[in-house]
Amino acid sequence: MIQITSPPQMAKIMEQCQAALARQKVRFLVCAGTGCVAGGSLDVYDEFKRLIEEKGISVDVELLYEGQKSDAGIGIGGCHGFCQMGPLVRVEPKETFYTKVKVADVEEIVTATIDKDTVVERLLYQNPDGSRSVTEHEVPFYSTQQRIVLGKCGVINPEDIREYFAAEGYQALAHVLQDLTREQVIDIVTRSGLRGRGGAGFPAGRKWQSCLQATGSPKYIVCNGDEGDPGAFMDRSVLEGDPLAVIEGMTIAGYSVGASYGYIYVRAEYPLAVKRLHKAIAQARQSQLLGDNIMGTGFNFDLKIFQGAGAFVCGESTALTLSIEGKRGMPRVAPRPRTTEIGLWDKPTVLNNVKSFAYVPDIIRKGADWFKAIGTETSSGTAVFALTGNITNSGLIEVPMGTTFREIIFNLGGGIPDGEKFKAVQTGGPSGGCLPESLLDLPIDFDSLDEAGAIMGSGGMVIMDERTCMVDVARYFLDFTVIESCGQCVPCRLGTKQLLEVLEDICAGKGRKEDLDLLYELSHAVHAASICGLGQTAANPVLTTLRYFKEEYEAHIFDKCCPAKVCKALISFVISEDRCKGCGICAKHCPVSAITGEKKQVHVIDQSLCIQCGVCMEKCPKKFRAVDCVSPRIKAAVPETMETT
């Protein structure tokens, strides 16, 4: 294992590692992020290994570092953010980008690459116009991205620290330890304009400065990898794909505030990220980049991983530190001390998001001005979003702050699939809001989203088409908040429950005229009287849907109609007399036997039995499409007296 005993040595190590990797004629990098593993990428990896070894080529990377050349090698990579097209395989040095690779395809790739020096056309990404993209950069999804935090994800092997060295890793820390004082480091971070990526956008430099000045020791560095927004996976990908960037960023933070210990708090649901972090920490320790006497400079800093136990509120900074201390994760009551002064174990603590730390090495290396030049006046740098929902290309994207929704959704994202129409974009998770089509040209940054009533959040961006009911979406988020509220403030505990009940009533067709005012009133009360961000922002999904999609609430309340045909109590499934060919497929699949009909005769749904599961509509053959979903409900053929109950 490479030992770094002085900062100047780092430059030479980088060259050695680059040279070692260059000794490999070609390399197959198989994506081993959570998404691709779910698609079977580990089997694909094994098959590459088997076939290469069958050719008498050794895939032992150690030989490269000993100076031997090799005709081919393999490695694993982190998430490229395009998991939808996975398993992905990248072939270096040409950067050929293969999608949806199956075990059966591997032999063809190996033969084409090693024996014929060609590409396997059919596995390249197919562009909307039918042509193929050979490299990642040509794929429309990546074409206008600017990848900084995600830059190394998928491109280096996150389980081998030498690849991080080859990609200029630890050059920043070497520079810091050799040339910069604490104040100078903080000055660079401040001037770069880096704002925290965990949601609120607090200036990172100011936070570090405040911790530097705080009295009390020891001091701690804490990385928030709780990623509670249900529908976002940016932090997961960074931790899996480039764990050492986060570790290096935390080490630099430690140096600049005078902390020698740090924690990485990782969500319970991310086992692979935990595994990669453990490996990265062990390798960094062996290379004298964590622990005592880092790079021989006398600076000490070490890290521990803490696995969360499944509580959204623990993403809040005071709750998170209490959770590390082995307590219930309940946000501290106001007046809340600042974490930079009284944080973990009541000591001064810098707590930042995963991405906030991951930006730091690049900012130190390339300078504050470089970062400041990207993005907008008040929000510098890039924004990372997890683009999901009803969108053609879903995945992780990184774009300069100030990019518009339209650019992201219709250019990178490829628009709305299945010929549907765009309806809303949701950012900021349960604390955020839903924005309508009229705001598509809004340049996105911390402040513009705030003004529009949503928030940047940590980066979830869920696209919704006309098949999404906005009342149901508000209900969905409130359901989440009610479960996740820690319960110590009454307005949050009971107010969110009240909001949820009103929304449930509206979805169930029991909405009343007064409910709209009641929703506003409750929302303001919960916002005003809750002590932590969870309660304070809990009503945002309600307020934004009311602000931009009020007519949908009105349709539910006054017409008992769910325009998106989602709310089960307001829809009916009916079979069209004209189109039904009596094939009987629907009847066979109906879970409650609500469909009857003779063979080759028009089938009928008994509305009093139907549970609106939608299976019949899904199963009716495409060529007939004989099942329709309608709202408001059609009257069931039941006696009048029963209808009024």
Partner 1 sequence: MEDRLSEILSPYKGKQDALIPILQKVQEEIGYLPAEAMQEIARTTGLPQSRVYAVATFYAQFYFTRRGRHQSKICTGTACHVKGAARIMDTFERELGIACGETSEDYEHSLETVACVGSCALAPVVVVDEEVYGQVDSSKMSKIFDDFKETEKED
Cβ neighbours around 369 below 10 Å, total: 10
User: Considering the rule CB under 6 A, would residue 239 count as an interface residue with ligand FES?
Assistant: no
Nearer to ligand SF4, 277 or 594 (CB): 594
Question: How far is it, in rounded angstroms, from Cα 256 to Cα 207?
Answer: 11
Nearer to ligand FMN, 393 or 481 (CB): 481
Nearer to ligand SF4, 462 or 627 (CB): 627
Q: Which residue is nearest to ligand SF4 (CB)?
A: 535
User: Considering the rule CB under 8 A, would residue 312 count as an interface residue with partner 1?
Assistant: yes
Tell me the sheet residues that pair with 574.
628
Residue range at the interface with ligand FMN (CB under 6 A); choices 168-176, 220-228, 369-377, 625-633: 220-228
Residue range at the interface with ligand FMN (CB under 6 A); choices 81-89, 219-227, 289-297, 381-389: 219-227
Tell me the sheet residues that pair with 490.
none
Q: What is the DSSP letter of 534?
A: H
**What are the start-end ranges of the E strands in 275-371?**
291-294, 299-307, 349-353
| Binds 464: which of ligand FMN, partner 1, ligand FES, none (CB < 5-8 Å by kind) | partner 1
Q: Tell me which long-range contacts 619-624 makes (C-beta under 8 A, separation of at least 24).
A: 619/585, 619/586, 619/589, 620/585, 620/586, 621/583, 621/585, 624/579, 624/580, 624/581, 624/583
User: Considering the rule CB under 6 A, would residue 227 count as an interface residue with ligand FMN?
Assistant: yes
Question: How far is it, in rounded angstroms, from Cα 459 to Cα 455?
Answer: 9
Site string for ligand FES, 66-85 (x = CB under 6 A): -------------xxxxx--
Question: How far is it, in rounded angstroms, from Cα 312 to Cα 228?
Answer: 5
Cα atoms found within 13 Å of the Cα of residue 558, Cβ hemisphere only: 9
Binding partner 1 (rule: CB under 8 A), the pick from 618, 625, 634, 635 is: 618
Binding ligand FES (rule: CB under 6 A), the pick from 231, 271, 337, 487 is: 231
CA angle 627, 628, 630 (to 5 degrees): 150
User: Considering the rule CB under 6 A, would residue 353 count as an interface residue with ligand FMN?
Assistant: yes
| Binds 573: which of ligand SF4, partner 1, ligand FES, none (CB < 5-8 Å by kind) | ligand SF4
User: Considering the rule CB under 8 A, would residue 459 count as an interface residue with partner 1?
Assistant: no
Residues found near ligand SF4 in the complex (CB under 6 A): 313, 331, 485-489, 492-493, 530-532, 534-535, 573, 575, 580-586, 590, 592, 594-595, 603, 605, 610-616, 620, 624, 626-627
Nearer to partner 1, 307 or 378 (CB): 307
Residue range at the interface with ligand FMN (CB under 6 A); choices 182-190, 314-322, 394-402, 512-520: 314-322
| Binds 196: which of ligand SF4, partner 1, ligand FMN, none (CB < 5-8 Å by kind) | ligand FMN
The least CB distance from residue 426 to ligand FMN, in Å, is 16
Question: How far is it, in rounded angstroms, from Cα 568 to Cα 572?
Answer: 8
The least CB distance from residue 538 to ligand FMN, in Å, is 9
Question: How far is it, in rounded angstroms, from Cα 282 to Cα 364?
Answer: 24
Binding ligand FMN (rule: CB under 6 A), the pick from 443, 533, 582, 584 is: 533
Which residues neighbour 302 within 8 Å (Cβ) at sequence distance 6 or greater? 260, 261, 262, 285, 290, 291, 292
Nearer to ligand FMN, 198 or 241 (CB): 198
Tell me the sheet residues that pair with 92.
27
User: Considering the rule CB under 6 A, would residue 464 count as an interface residue with ligand FES?
Assistant: no
The site that binds ligand FES (CB under 6 A) totals a number of residues, namely 14
Considering only CA atoms, which of 210, 277, 205, 219 is closest in space to residue 248?
277
User: Considering the rule CB under 6 A, would residue 462 count as an interface residue with ligand FES?
Assistant: no
Burial class of 187 by CB neighbour count within 10 A (0 to 12, 13 to 18, 19+): middle
The least CB distance from residue 500 to ligand FES, in Å, is 20
Question: How far is it, in rounded angstroms, from Cα 338 to Cα 213?
Answer: 13
Nearer to ligand FES, 315 or 348 (CB): 315
User: Considering the rule CB under 6 A, would residue 491 count as an interface residue with ligand FMN?
Assistant: no
Q: What is the DSSP letter of 444?
A: P
Nearer to ligand SF4, 191 or 581 (CB): 581
Which residues neighbour 634 within 8 Å (Cβ) at sequence distance 6 or greater? 572, 574, 607
Residue 546 contacts residue 590 (beta carbons within 8 Å):
no
How, if at all, do strands 595-596 and 132-133 pair? Answer: unpaired
User: Considering the rule CB under 6 A, would residue 315 count as an interface residue with ligand FMN?
Assistant: yes
Binding partner 1 (rule: CB under 8 A), the pick from 327, 336, 524, 635 is: 327
Which residues neighbour 596 within 8 Å (Cβ) at sequence distance 6 or greater? 587, 603, 604, 606
| Binds 610: which of partner 1, ligand FES, ligand FMN, none (CB < 5-8 Å by kind) | none
Type of residue numbered 595 = I
- The pair of three-digit structure tokens given for residue 13, joined into one six-digit string: 């190590």
SS3 for 470? helix
Binding ligand FES (rule: CB under 6 A), the pick from 4, 13, 20, 36 is: 36
The least CB distance from residue 474 to ligand SF4, in Å, is 18
Cβ neighbours around 22 below 10 Å, total: 13
Phi, psi of 257 (to 5 degrees): -105, -5
| Binds 106: which of ligand FMN, partner 1, ligand FES, none (CB < 5-8 Å by kind) | none
How, if at all, do strands 24-31 and 70-77 pair? Answer: parallel
Q: Give the C-alpha distances (Å, rounded to integers) separating 38 from 75, 105, 267, 269, 533.
A: 18, 17, 19, 14, 34
Site string for ligand FES, 84-123 (x = CB under 6 A): --x-x-----------------------------------
Binding ligand FES (rule: CB under 6 A), the pick from 14, 31, 252, 539 is: 31
Q: Which residues bind partner 1 (CB under 8 A)?
A: 34-35, 37-39, 81-84, 227-233, 236-237, 267-271, 306-312, 323, 325-330, 386, 388-390, 394-396, 426, 429, 460, 462, 464, 468, 473, 476-477, 480, 486, 591, 613-615, 618
Which residue ranges make up the site for ligand FES (CB under 6 A)? 31, 33-36, 79-83, 86, 88, 230-231
Binding site for ligand FMN (CB under 6 A): 196-200, 202, 224, 226-228, 313, 315-317, 351-353, 356, 458, 532-534
